């Protein structure tokens, strides 16, 4: 299992920018991806390749202000492409929860190899 302590991700609303018919990742999104890549390199985070994985996320907001926690999932998953897995299509299960606020915000991401449990035949 991998345990990551990452910065607070940008919302999907600030992650993508549209210009005409083109969409691209915002500067805030690129900064987040670069921070995640640097963290993973420093801590030599392993790569699961194409293996199916599960992802558990605990968001640690900057304040007690309520926000949509689902808006932060895609930037986290995308930032781990090529680092923890080849593509986020490998993610078989995601759980997300709102944790206690901390100064500056952050998120805890845990990732492990997904072992499919086959129910017994009745």
Q: Is the pLDDT score of 53 beyond 70?
A: yes
The DSSP bridge pattern shows strands 106-113 and 53-60 to be antiparallel
- The Cα–Cα gap between 95 and 35 comes to 22
Q: Residue 29 is part of which domain span?
A: 2-113
Does the residue 96 lie in any domain? Answer: yes
What pLDDT sits at residue 118? 64
Residues near 82 by beta carbon (within 8 Å), at least 6 away in sequence? none
pLDDT exceeds cutoff 90 at 116 = no
CATH code of the domain containing 20: 3.30.1330.70
Count up the domains in the chain and report the number. 1
Tell whether 24 is covered by a domain.
Answer: yes
User: Which element (helix H / strand E) includes 32?
Assistant: helix 27-42
Query: What is d(CA 6, CA 76) in angstroms, rounded to the nearest whole number?
Result: 9
d(CA 33, CA 43): 15
For residue 15, is it within any domain?
yes
Split at pLDDT 50, 70, 90, the class of 19 is confident
Q: Give the pLDDT score at 71.
A: 92
122 within domain boundaries: no
* Summary mean pLDDT of the chain: 93
């Amino acid at each position: 299992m991998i345990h990551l302590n990452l910065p607070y991700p940008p919302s999907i609303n600030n992650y993508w920018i549209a210009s005409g018919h083109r969409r691209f990742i915002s500067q805030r999104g690129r900064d987040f991806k670069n921070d995640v890549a640097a963290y993973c390199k420093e801590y030599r985070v392993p790569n699961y390749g194409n293996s199916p994985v599960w992802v558990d996320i605990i968001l640690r907001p900057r304040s007690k202000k309520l926000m949509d926690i689902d808006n932060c999932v895609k930037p986290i998953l995308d930032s781990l492409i090529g680092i923890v897995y080849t593509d986020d299509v490998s993610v078989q299960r995601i759980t997300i929860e709102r944790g206690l606020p901390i100064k500056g915000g952050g998120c805890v991401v845990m990732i492990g190899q997904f072992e499919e449990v086959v129910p017994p035949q009745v």
